Homo-oligomer: A and B are copies of this chain.
Amino acid sequence: MKSSNSRFNKCLYFSTNALARKVEKLAVENWKKVDLAPSHAYLLMMVLENPGAQPSCIADEMQLTPSTITRLIEKLEEKKLVIRTTEGKITNVYPTPKGKELLPKMKTCMGEFTKTYTEILGAEESMRMVQNINKLTDKLE
């Protein structure tokens, strides 16, 4: 069903959730190429760009709660893609060699995902939408 036919289509809650579910689906499909859930892939990429990143910092950047980040890291550790080292209060997350190997594939993946939705929405429009969505998110403090 088109969202424009829903009686809830005027509500931000409804619209954003519907969109998020569709985009999620697209992303899941896309990231299957590296056998990762989208959120796992994003976290791994962050750690690859920023080896030794702390969970709190990752949580901040990914806009997820620390507990969720712990869970995501656990999964990536099981797959031997990252390791955690803890010294006192702070924890650092590093990519393993296996994780590092994945980088080029992930970059390709990311590019393909962007291409997918850019083709559907148009380059102009998709960029503008993402910007507007970010602005909206920021305003909701």
Q: Which of A12-20, A74-82, A83-91, A95-103 lies at the interface with chain B? A: A12-20
- A7 with B134: CB separation less than 8 A: no
Q: Which of chain A's residues 1-57 have a Cβ closer than 8 Å to chain B? A: 1-24, 26-27, 38, 42, 46, 49
- How far, in angstroms, from A4 to B64 measured CA to CA in the complex? 15
- B15 x A137 contact (CB < 8 A): yes
Q: Which one of A12, A62, A110 has the highest number of Cβ atoms from chain B below 10 Å of its Cβ?
A: A12
The secondary-structure label for the interface of chain A is: helix
Contact B23 A130 (CB under 8 A): no
A77 to chain B, nearest CB (A): 21
**5 additional contacts (CB under 8 A) given A3-B63, A7-B61:** A4-B134, A5-B61, A10-B130, A11-B113, A133-B133
